[in-house]
Amino acid sequence: MSEFSKDRHCASDGVPVRVSRIFDSCSDRDCLSSLPVTLSSGALPDNINILRSRCAQVEGVCISVEPVPFDRGFYQIDLTFTFGFELLGYERSCTAPVTLSGTAYATKSCILYGSESSARVFSSADTAPVQPREWVSRDDLPVANVSVLEPIVLETKITSMCPASEGAAVFPEQRGVFVTLGLFSVVELTRPATVMVPALEYSIPRKECCCDTESPCEIFQRLKFPEEEFNPLTIERSERSDDLPEGLS
């Protein structure tokens, strides 16, 4: 191999790259107990006595980052999760269900290290133009990122709530929907930073850009027959499969 070919595959001293550096992170396994569900239809119908959860998902997360007083470099992250539900309501067992939808909220907090910086960064990639002679003021806070899996519904129940009163009027007892969720999440605190990384020279993709003109049946004929789908695993075979290295199961 020529010296030129060898040099082509050697890493250079390093190139500067602008990245979002993770300064601190944490993972949580939260059991969110007895969250009240607000039904889209209003009150729970009187004829519904049994509830089951059909599906649940995280519809959004509101994130707030504030510095911790007297503890420089640390920040409190307040999270408010919005959950959407689709429920099946039954008058009694083995009857046709009624589909209900609702929303629930949950909050949690954590404290992570996010370092300090007094620099102000302006980028040409910003889409919102700054008006002439307009002062832009912002705190140089780190950015919190939250990764979350879809919640696991552990319990769905109907609970009678205490009667409400307003002045001299007393309203009758109402029934409410409550859920208990299991939630896995990861929270990261990041700041933009310029780091040096080793790098090879630019790479040109070797895969050709072409359209597959074969018929769907020809493609299907090349697929491996899914024998494992027709042979359910026993618990012994499943345990042996889990113990094998990846690619040998």
Amino acid at 100: L
Round the average pLDDT of the chain to a whole number and report it: 81
Q: Is residue 223 part of a domain?
A: no
Q: What is the DSSP letter of 156?
A: E
149 and 183 Cβ atoms separated by less than 8 Å: yes
Structurally, how many domains does the chain consist of? 1
Q: How far out from the chain centre does Cα 35 lie?
A: 19
The pLDDT assigned to 204 comes to 82
The pLDDT assigned to 212 comes to 65
Q: Is residue 112 part of a domain?
A: yes
Is residue 223 pLDDT above 70, yes or no? yes
Structure confidence by residue, pLDDT tens digits, 53-68: 999 999 999 999 999 9
Q: Is residue 77 part of a domain?
A: yes
Q: Is residue 227 part of a domain?
A: no
User: How many C-beta atoms surround the C-beta of residue 156 within 10 A?
Assistant: 20
Structure confidence by residue, pLDDT tens digits, 82-106: 999 999 999 988 889 999 999 999 9
The pLDDT assigned to 183 comes to 94
200 or 132, which is more confident: 200
Q: Is residue 84 part of a domain?
A: yes
Q: Is residue 248 part of a domain?
A: no
User: DSSP of 14-69, one letter per residue?
Assistant: -EEEEEEEEEEEEEEEEEEEEEEEEETTSSPPTT--EEEEEEEEEEEEEEEEEEPT
User: How many C-beta atoms surround the C-beta of residue 63 within 10 A?
Assistant: 13
**Residue 165 pLDDT grade (very low, low, confident, very high; cuts 50, 70, 90):** low
Is residue 47 pLDDT above 50, yes or no? yes
Q: Is residue 215 part of a domain?
A: no
Q: What residues make up the domain containing 20? A: 13-116+138-200
Q: Is residue 180 part of a domain?
A: yes
